[in-house]
Chains A and B, each alone.
Chain A
C-alpha cells in the first residue's frame, strides 16, 4: 500500500482483556512510532523503533503496554489487562530515517474498553 495501514480500525474489548494492535509502515521506512490520542487531545508519544529495536519506550504509560517489531517492518502494540482509561485512538507513524524526517501517520485504531 501507499500509506501506513493499521488494523483493526476499531476494537471493542472488555476490561481486563488482552488486545493487539497492528501497524504496517510505508515500505522502506526504517523508523516507526506509536502515539495515543485521547478524546479532545493531541497525539501523545508512546514508543519509537529504529529497525527492530525499541530506541525509546519512555512514553509507554506502564508495564501493561508492550510493542514489538521483530523483522523491522510490521509492528504490534500489545496491551494486557486493559482498563477503561486505555480507551483512545492509537496512531502509528513511520518515517524514512532518523530524527526529524517527516512522520506519516496511519488512520489509527480506535480502542474502546468497556
Chain B
C-alpha cells in the first residue's frame, strides 16, 4: 500500500494544451518532491515543497503543496513533447527523513 496516490495514471494530450497531475494522501508530509523519470533512467528531482500552501514555478511547471500538507499538484502550461515522461511525487514524513515514499506515478504523453 502506497502512502501517496497519484492521478490520473495516464495522460495523453496535444502539444500546447495544459495538464494537471495530482498527488494525494491521508498522511501529513514534512515535505513533498516531484520527479520526472524517462525510460531507462532514474528519477530526476524537479522541485521540493515544504510549506503548506506553497506554490513554486519552474518555467511552464507550477507546483502547489496543499494547506494541510497532505496533497500536491503539478500543472504544466502549454505542454511540449519534451515534457513527456513519468511524473512521480515523493514525500518525507519528518523533516529529517531520508526515507522517501513514492506514488505510482503519472505517465504523461504530449503529442506533437
Contact = CB atoms under 8 A, between A and B. Distances in A.
Contacts of A44: 102
Interface in B90-112: 90, 92, 95-105
A45 B95 contact: no
Interface size class, chain B: 20 to 34
Interface residues of A, number: 27
A93 B92 contact: no
Interface in A92-114: 93, 95, 98-100, 102-108
A42 B102 CA distance: 5
5 contacts: A48-B98, A98-B96, A103-B45, A103-B100, A108-B41
Interface of B: 2, 4, 30-31, 40-45, 48, 88, 90, 92, 95-105
